[in-house]
Amino acid sequence: MTFKTENIPSFERIFRDSSATIRASKGCRHLELYRDMHHPNTFFTYSLWDTEQDLENYRNSEFFREVWGRTRQLFSEKPRAWSLGKHNEFQS
């Protein structure tokens, strides 16, 4: 997610205020916020969910709609998201 510089404090407040509720959502095992070291307006959330359905249930919740509605107004670029599955772990 890339934000307008002046909107970063607002985004950080939204994330801080909503992260406990996200972490308490059914199936959420982990949530972190990362900031790009070379592009300080760009942030990434990293979350782990028990199942894809748990993630979809969260995305369809009233809480998500409210938080996302406030967050998306702060972007300077269209956000992107990926859902990933663990790949083989290579042994040396």
Q: Chain-wide mean pLDDT for the chain?
A: 94
Tens digit of pLDDT for each residue in 34-64? Answer: 999 999 999 999 999 999 999 999 999 999 9
CATH of the domain at 52: 3.30.70.100
pLDDT single digits (tens) 31-42: 999 999 999 999
Radius of gyration of the chain (CA): 14
pLDDT of 90 strictly over 80: no
Q: How many domains does the chain have?
A: 1
Q: Domain range for residue 52?
A: 5-74
Is residue 84 domain-resident? Answer: no
CA atoms 44, 49, 52, 53: torsion sign? negative
3-class SS letters over 11-61 = HHHHHHHHHHHHHCCCCEEEEEEEECCCCCCEEEEEEEECCHHHHHHHHCC
Confidence (pTM): 0.84
Quick check: 85 pLDDT over 90?
no
Q: Is 59 part of any domain? A: yes
Which runs of consecutive H residues, i.e. helices, occur in 6-51?
8-23
Is residue 10 situated within a structural domain?
Answer: yes
Specify whether the CB–CB gap between 74 and 13 falls below 8 A. no
* pLDDT for 82 beyond 90: no
